[in-house]
Chain A
Amino acid sequence: MNAKMFPPGKNSPVGQPLDRVDGLLKVTGQARYAGEYPQMGLLQGSVVSSTIACGRILSIDTSAALQVPGVVAVIDHTNRPHVASYDKNYEDADSAEGSPFRPLFYNDRVLYSGQPLALVVADSLELARYAGSLIRVEYQADAHETSLTAAQATAHTAPAETPKPRGNFQAGFAGAAFTVDAHYSTPNEHHNPMEPHASTVIYQDDGSLHIHDKTQGPQNCQDYLHKVFELDKEKIRIFAAFVGGAFGSGLRPQYQLPLAVMAALHLKRSVRVTLTRQQMFTFGYRPNTLQHLRLGATADGKLVAVGHDVIGQTSRFEDFTEHVVEWSGMLYQCDNVQLTYKLAPLDVYTPLDMRAPGAASGMVGLECAMDELASAAGIDPVQLRVINFAERNGNEDKPYSSKELRACYEQGAGRFGWSQRNPEPRSMRNGRQLVGWGMAGGVWEAMQMKASAKASIDGDGKLTVSSATTDIGTGTYTVMVQIAAEAAGVMPDDVTFVLGDSSLPTAPLQGGSFTVSSVGTAVQQACRALRAKLLDAVRMAHPQFAVVDMAEVGFGDGYLIVQDQRFAYADIVRESSHEMLEVQIDAEPDEKRNGYATATHSAVFVEVLVDEDLGSIRVNRVVSAVAAGRVVNPKTAGSQILGGVVWGISQAMQEETQTDHNLGRFMNHSLAEYHIPVNADIGDIDVVFVEENDEIVNELGSKGVGEIGIVGVASAIANAIYHATGKRVREFPITLDKVL
């Protein structure tokens, strides 16, 4: 058997559509989620939530609840154990600016509707929930405001570093041959992963805690609990082996975690707290935005003014910021740019990053306005974007490490058949249906964080690689196996990747599309370092190779090859004096990134069918062409884009958490009434990854694909609806009543 020399040959496991290594466990129900771990004597907690948006608790009557046989305790602000009292104790790795919410029934203040007020702990979940329904809370209700539209005048400048104005926007806009001046709005949306947030706290004999939590950052949760409960970190171990979707909802520790821990510490028992679907609407969400877009272009379509002003909502206690307007300063070439971003505090919970935070909202305004500009100027929407292609990121005045967006436009348009489009609105029909073709571009940052990984190989030649990241359904287990296999020179079947454990080497939160870039780089470097260890072992055991240089050595298929000799990794380990060879490394972004802007891009093409009589809209087909560097696994990456496109369809036409502003409360808090697409809503989705070679972004050349799939989709759909009907709907979601 000849050793396969993986990198950079085409036999490398990286780039292969490997099936998910955890797929069998998941589809056979063997993958356990945070709320599923069995434990003898486990108590169940149920959270009682506030029903007013602002005020004080006058009294909580828990007597009826306490009389229910099987109820062990009711904890509220009048009887809670001591907890930390400084803001810094409640901060976490994804905190917003301000004073973090204190979920442990800190005092009698009610800051938002749905706020946790009490925890009932009982022998069973059913008992806990029933007893919770018997608790009577008396409030002193104060006036509240939950409407961003009503409160927009109170908005203050967001504590965010928005790009400084450049050039002279006013002059550019005033002198433009064609202008667009339009207002758009995007609604509140909740993450609603299929798996609700849950924490199972297993109380150990020594008083330490093993916790199965739904999180995108086990170490963030460990650190948070350490600070809130003033507990040694060694006494807290967080596991998150499987996460049933998160989309950002697990970036911050959610309140079920500290509540379960408080009960466990108080009762010295194991406790689980699982949120109900209704309670999944009682913490972070994608915030409502009001957007004002002003674009100006010359007669031949060159942008001479880009103005994007956004007001987003936040809570009274924290200023949640996201990158909403930045994209308008970087996607296109323009010398006169003015971007502003304000926040209006409301009596609501703090928003939270949700898939492509900021971009998914901000690009709605920009890319719809670009379509309006294309119409005004009589230029094809793709052509308008090509005319304004930016070679450099204007916000930072840096060149892109790579930017194959032109290829996205070309290949996407080609696959879609864009050249057949009649530019005239209402010009294309299919029976009763108006046919609309629209497009938009997408962009997301390609970030990299510090991360660490450990790699070890045993006497059977089995490689184990670990890092304290998570797999929120994205395929992290699988792609890390592929990266490790390539870097170590073993077959994927011989690799196990371990994640979801706070005791593993440090990893950043799993979010922002930077897991492959950050953890993947650490995995790659750890496995490379392991090669060096293997070579050292060969040098030790075989004096004839004592001075052989790394450059003369090949690694692949589980073998080290030097000159004419092949050493199986298994044999090298067995011949060494160690049970296994092990190495841990800390990886950080390469300095050469500093001179460049790094981003993923996409071009999205959409066909909608509109039955104008009845207002019904169907997204019949979508082509999404994505430039994201080297794709580690086209299957899992493709699924990321598919999911993003489906969510974009949702964002465009269905999804909205509706607030009753009289009550200050979200009202459609169930999956029956919070609409997201069903299978029948989804037509054909064609995902294209264009070739993009990037030697700067990281050594893998891979940018991450978690966010880019959703960006631009909603605008492309809105633009297609305009093309079909001649109507511009600028208030999202575009439900059927808006096109009637």
Chain B
Amino acid sequence: MNPFSYSKPADVSQAVNLVGPASRFIAGGTNLLDLMKENIARPEHLIDITGLPLKEVRETASGGLMIGALVSNADLAWHPLVESRYPLLSQAVLAGASPQLRNMASTGGNLLQRTRCYYFYDSTVPCNKREPGSGCPAKDGLNRIHAILGASSECVATHPSDMCVALAALEAVVHVEGRAGKRTIEFADFHRLPADAPERDNQLADDELITAIELPSARFRQHSHYLKIRDRASYAFALVSVAAALELDGDVIKDVRLALGGVAHKPWRDKAVEQLLKGKPVSRENFVAAADAMLRDAQPLEHNAFKIKLARRAIVRALSDAAVGGNA
């Protein structure tokens, strides 16, 4: 860890005005501190945002929820309005990390977790995400945990968050503020695919701070399910996860959301696949067809072909469980 200076602003505009070339915002620090200890992040200035007034969860005029960026993962998961209206989000948050980490980690910070690719985490080996242009040993190395969708020749890393998979399915909106003012980013647009710039995980400008996550009004509370498959029962990142949400009219699918985690550089959603299911009855055949469509373009690496099979089955399972009220 390199030496750094530290400041703790009291409001958002002060915080974004403190941003300099080698500064970083820090909230819970559950990821950033690890990155600093491993010499992967080397900020010279830390802007501690835990004093900012971004800790509220409130209902919006349109019947949705506005979640302050500093609401802890634990408080978010156990918030009565989240539990009752967005059980998918509660499940996803609780599927991630450990209770201790969820107590510290912030909602905004959860969006900014870096990949858990082994090579990214070892500063002595090449990694295009860590050091652009240095290469990607994962492509021909230990890639069992890596991407099967949307990867590039530069980077095959996955996004590690569970919460974000649910937020993608729920079509959350990210509220940010920078020196130039405030703007909102659709969740689907927030994270990037690696393409030729894997060092950039998302669309945030350097001086921008996430201030809130907005959820549209709840339509899937009856029929949603978050399914996470991992190498141990807790404290492991998803090999594959599925956020499935259905709006049913009797047996007929009125609307559906489907997002995958652990398979790509961002939570993976495909509106065309969702379109396939709309208006169709709940049936295993229809879910299988959707799963096949979702994985149609999947490209395995040497050690992760199993993820394609696993993701297909997980999609069918998650949709089936959602259909029968999987959040119960």
Quick one: given A126-B1, A678-B235, are A660 and B141 in contact (CB under 8 Å)?
yes
B27 to chain A, nearest CB (A): 20
A614 touches B39 (CB 8 A): no
Q: Does A667 have its Cβ within 8 Å of any Cβ on chain B?
A: yes
Distance A731 CA – B20 CA, assembled complex (angstroms)? 51
> CB of B236 within 8 A of chain A?
yes
CA distance in complex: A51, B123 (Å): 10
6 interchain residue pairs of minimum CB distance: A680-B233, A737-B306, A51-B124, A667-B118, A680-B234, A660-B141
Residue of B122, B125, B229, B234 contacting most chain A CB atoms (<10 Å): B122
Q: Which residue of B lies closest to A615 (CB)?
A: B310
Nearest-neighbor residue (CB-CB) of B39 within chain A: A133
A570 to B234, CA, bound (A): 55
Chain A residues with CB under 8 A of B38: 278
On whether the beta carbons of B122 and A736 are closer than 8 Å, the reply is: no
**B314 is an interface residue with CB less than 8 A from chain A:** yes
Q: Are A737 and B310 in contact (CB under 8 A)?
A: yes
A206 to B283 alpha-carbon distance, docked (Å): 83
- Residues on the A chain within 8 Å of B118, using CB: 658, 660, 667-668, 673
User: Interface 1/0s, chain B 153-174, versus A by CB < 8 A?
Assistant: 0000000000000000000000
The contact of B141 among A667, A672, A737, by CB within 8 Å, is: A667
In the bound complex, CA of A735 to CA of B124 (Å): 28
Indicate if the CB atoms of A667 and B122 lie closer than 8 Å.
yes
A53 to chain B, nearest CB (A): 12
What 0/1 readout, one digit per residue, does chain B (92-124) give for beta carbons within 8 Å of chain A? 000000000000000000000000101101101
Contact, CB under 8 Å: A667 / B142: yes
Cross-chain contact of A654 among B124, B231, B317 (Cβ < 8 A): B231
Residue B147 CB within 8 A of the other chain: no
What is the CB-to-nearest-CB distance from A548 to chain B, in angstroms, rounded to a whole number? 64
A670 at interface, CB cutoff 8 A: yes
- Whether A168 is near chain B, meaning CB under 8 Å from some CB there, is no
Given contacts A126-B1, A662-B140, A673-B116, contact A678 B229 (CB under 8 A): no
Could you tell me the distance in whole angstroms from the C-beta of A462 to the nearest C-beta in chain B?
42
Query: Hey, which chain A residues are within 8 Å of B309, CB to CB?
Result: 740
B236 partner residues in chain A, CB cutoff 8 A: 675
Chain A's nearest CB lies how many Å from the CB of B195?
24
- Inside 8 A of A385's CB, which chain B residues have their CB? none
| Chain A residues whose CB sits within 8 angstroms of the CB of B314 once the complex forms | 614
Excluding A126-B1, A278-B38, 14 further A-B contacts by CB distance (< 8 Å) are A133-B39, A278-B122, A613-B316, A614-B229, A615-B310, A654-B232, A663-B137, A667-B118, A667-B125, A675-B232, A678-B233, A736-B239, A737-B144, A737-B306
CB distance from A590 to the nearest CB of B (A): 46
Q: Does A665 reach chain B (CB closer than 8 Å)?
A: yes
* Most chain B beta carbons < 10 A, residue from A278, A658, A669, A737: A737
B3 to chain A, nearest CB (A): 7
B313 on the interface (CB 8 Å rule)? yes
Q: With A and B bound together, what is the CA distance between A672 and B120 in angstroms? A: 14
| Chain B residues within an 8 Å CB radius of A454 | none
A491–B130 alpha-carbon span in the complex (Å)? 62
Q: Mark A21-46, 1 if CB is under 8 A from B, else 0.
A: 00000000000000000000000000
Q: Give chain A nearest CB distance to B323 CB in angstroms.
A: 15
> Which of B304-328 touch A at CB < 8 Å?
306, 309-310, 313-314, 316-317
Q: Does B5 contact A (CB under 8 A)?
A: no
- Is the CB of B2 closer than 8 A to any CB of chain A? yes
A133 to B42, CA, bound (A): 11
Q: How far is the CB of B258 from chain A (nearest CB, A)?
A: 17
Which chain A positions have C-beta within 8 A of B119?
660, 667
Report whether A681 and B313 are in contact in the complex, using a CB–CB cutoff of 8 Å: no
**Interface hub of B125, B231, B310 (most chain A Cβ within 10 A):** B231
B141 to A663, Cβ gap below 8 A? Answer: yes
Which A-chain residue is minimally distant from B123 (CB atoms)?
Answer: A133
A140: chain B residues at CB < 8 Å are none
A-B contact pairs, 19 of them (CB 8 A): A51-B124, A130-B2, A133-B39, A613-B316, A615-B310, A660-B119, A662-B140, A662-B141, A667-B125, A668-B118, A669-B122, A672-B235, A675-B232, A678-B233, A678-B234, A681-B233, A735-B231, A736-B239, A737-B144
Q: What separation, in Å, do the CA atoms of A658 and B316 have in the docked complex?
A: 31
Residues from chain A with a CB closer than 8 A to the CB of B3 are: 130
B306–A740 contact, CB under 8 A?
yes
Shortest beta-carbon distance from A309 to chain B in Å = 27
Asked whether B1 lies within 8 Å of A614 as measured between CB atoms, the reply is no
A737 cross-chain contacts in B, Cβ below 8 A: 144, 239, 306, 310
**Closest residue of B by beta carbon distance from A114:** B124
Residues on B with C-beta less than 8 A from A736 are: 229, 231, 239, 310
- Contact indicator per residue, chain A 654-688, by CB within 8 Å of chain B (1) or not (0): 10001010110101111011010111110000000
Closest CB-CB distance, B148 to chain A, in whole Å?
13
Interface residues of B, count at CB 8 A: 32
Q: In the complex the two chains form, what is the Cα distance from A613 to B116 in whole Å?
A: 26
Mask, A709-740, CB within 8 Å of B = 1, is 00000000000000000000000000111001
A383 surroundings in chain B (CB, below 8 A)? none
Residues of A within 8 A of B137 (CB): 660, 662-663
Query: Chain A, 678-715, contact with B by CB distance < 8 Å: what is the 0/1 string?
Result: 11110000000000000000000000000000000000
Q: Counting CB contacts under 8 A, is A422 at the interface? A: no
CA distance A431 to B54 in the complex (A): 45
Min distance, Cβ A721 to any Cβ of chain B, angstroms: 15
B-side contacts of A129, CB under 8 Å? 1
- Closest beta carbon of chain B to A72's beta carbon, Å: 17
Contact residues in A for B124 (Cβ distance below 8 Å): 51, 665
A672 to B34, CA, bound (A): 11
Tell me the smallest distance from the CB of A144 to a CB of chain B, in Å.
14
Contact (Cβ within 8 A) B125 A51: yes
Interchain CA distance A737-B235 in the complex, whole Å = 18
Contact B141 A678 (CB under 8 A): no
* Distance between Cα atoms of A673 and B232 in the complex (Å): 11
| Chain B 217-245 interface mask (CB, 8 Å, partner A; 1/0) | 00000000000010111111001000000
Q: Does A616 contact B (CB under 8 A)?
A: yes
Residue of B nearest to A50 (CB): B124
A614 in complex: contacting residue of B2, B122, B317, CB < 8 Å:
B317
- Interface members, chain A 589-633 (any B CB < 8 Å): 613-616, 618
Give CA–CA (A261, B10) in the complex, Å: 48
Determine the chain B residues whose CB is within 8 A of the CB of A614 once the complex forms.
229, 310, 313-314, 317
A130 contact set on B, CB distance < 8 A: 1-3
A130 to B3, CA, bound (A): 8
| Inter-chain contacts of B316 with A (CB < 8 A) | 613
Question: Which residues of B have CB within 8 Å of A681?
Answer: 232-234
CA distance A133 to B36 in the complex (A): 11
- B229 to chain A: which residues have CB within 8 Å? 614-616, 736
Cα–Cα distance between A670 and B125 once the two chains are bound (Å): 15
Q: Say how far B121's CB is from chain A's closest CB, in angstroms.
A: 7
Asked if A613 and B313 sit within 8 Å, CB to CB, the answer is yes
CB distance from A287 to the nearest CB of B (A): 19
A616–B137 Cα distance when bound, in Å, is: 29
Closest residue of B by beta carbon distance from A671: B235
| Given the contacts A130-B1, A614-B317, A662-B137, A740 and B310 also touching, CB distance less than 8 Å | yes
Of chain A, the residue at the smallest CB distance from B306 is A737
A670 CB → nearest B CB, Å: 7
A71 to chain B, nearest CB (A): 12
Which residues, 249 to 306 on B, are CB-close (under 8 Å) to A? 306
B231/A675 in contact, CB under 8 A: yes
Known: A130-B1, A613-B317, A663-B125. A677 touches B232 (CB 8 A): yes
A408: min CB distance to chain B, Å: 29
Q: How far is the CB of A659 from chain B (nearest CB, A)?
A: 8
Rounded to whole angstroms, the CA-CA distance of A737 and B231 in the bound complex is 9
The chain A residue sitting closest to B236, CB to CB, is A675
